Amino acid sequence: MEGGESYQDYGQQFFSDMNTRLRDLEEKQRILKDRILLIGESLIREREKNFVEIQDMKKVIIKVQEENLRLKEFVQRITEHLSNAARKEDLMILQRQFDLFRNT
């Protein structure tokens, strides 16, 4: 009878160990599932944040390009104005010389 009880104890111990291992595996699986969900949520939040930042950067780039174009136009107008001013100064010098010759 002792042999039968030993096999029965061994069988109970075996199934007890199997149940413990099964519960451990289920717990590990649950933990992994939770971690994957958290990683997925973090990834989604990060993607949304990056999308918003990219949109903001696009707006800034467009604004900078517009300002750059306005500055180029402004510099071009100033350059044209300065070249016209130089011509006026040349004309004033010629006018003075002409006045000097006329007075003599």
pLDDT digits over 27-69, tens only? 999 999 999 999 999 999 999 999 999 999 999 999 999 999 9
Per-residue pLDDT for 11 more than 80? no
Is the full-model pTM beyond 0.95? no
Nearest to residue 47, comparing CAs of 55, 24, 72?
55
CA distance 101 to 104: 5
Question: What is the arithmetic mean of pLDDT over 78-95?
Answer: 79
Give me the mean pLDDT over the 11-28 stretch.
Answer: 91
pLDDT of 1 above 50:
no
Question: Who has greater pLDDT, 97 or 46?
Answer: 46
Q: Please give the mean pLDDT across all residues of the chain.
A: 88
Percentage of the chain exceeding pLDDT 90: 58
What is the sign of the dihedral through the CA atoms of 51, 56, 59 and 64?
Answer: negative
